Structure 1
Amino acid sequence: MAQEKDVVLIYHEDKPLTFARIEDIQPDVKPDWYHVRLLLLQIPLQPVTWILRTAYIDGGEFTMNGDRMRLEPVVSPEVAPDGEDSGEMTETGEKGDAKVISFADLKRK
């Protein structure tokens, strides 16, 4: 089951809608149901509480007002063991053929 501080992508009718962080999960009075407090990661930030079953928290489809919804856990991309594609720059500010451009230098021109 997803846990507190996990980031999820909320789908509405099979289309990605927004990211959210799970802030809190508390049991409901009904067995296998939970009050899930989410922080919608959009502008402005919006806290919401949904009452969901374990299966829905784990990515199962459910409906809200007749619309299909689901939560999908967001997994950070893995870094290759050899450091390739790690996004690390050399001391000269270069990565392969790429070059770091200073915004401060651009502003002066």
Structure 2
Amino acid sequence: MAEIKDIVLIYLEDAPVSFARIEDIMPDRKKDWYQIRLLMLQIPLQVVTWILKAEYINGDDFFMNGKSIRLEKVEAPALPGEHDDLPETSPENGKEIDAGESADSAEKNQGNIISFFKRKNRGNSQKT
């Protein structure tokens, strides 16, 4: 079941129309129904409350004003090989690594550090 703070994609007539974050899920006075409060992630931001059954919150189709609607929980895609090269003694695995290992890890990842501060100063010096 989608839970509070999950992001869902809302489909209208099988076409994606908006993203929303689940702000709250509370039981409704009708048995087996829930009040689900959604923050619509669009401009302007808007909060709506829909009364739905658990199966609708879990992705089954339902109808509103005669139109088919479906919620689909959004999972952030994993980047290819994102955590494949982490050493067994990385902080992510709950252990600390020494300075030599961190330098090796930085070389493996070949990441670049870009200083926005230096870019800003460089841009200012060209104007004068």
Short-chain TM bin: 0.7 to 0.9
Amino acid in the other structure paired with 2:33: W
Q: CA deviation at 1:70?
A: 0.4
Runs of 4+ in 1 over 6 A off after TM superposition: none
Aligned residue for 2:55, secondary structure, equals helix
The yes-or-no answer on 1:90 pairing with 2:84 is: no
The yes-or-no answer on 1:5 pairing with 2:5 is: yes
Q: Which runs of 5+ in 1 are unaligned?
A: 94-101
CA separation in 2, counterparts of 1:40 and 1:103? 36
Amino acid in the other structure paired with 1:33: W
CA-based RMSD of the aligned residues comes to 2.3
Q: Deviations over 1:37-83 (max 9, x none)?
A: 00000011000000000000000000000000000000011132336
Q: Which residue of 2 aligns with 1:71?
A: 71
What is the TM-score of this pair, normalised by structure 1?
0.77
Q: Percent identity?
A: 54
Q: Aligned residues, how many?
A: 97
CA separation in 2, counterparts of 1:89 and 1:39? 39
Amino acid in the other structure paired with 2:112: E
Q: Which residue of 1 aligns with 2:22?
A: 22
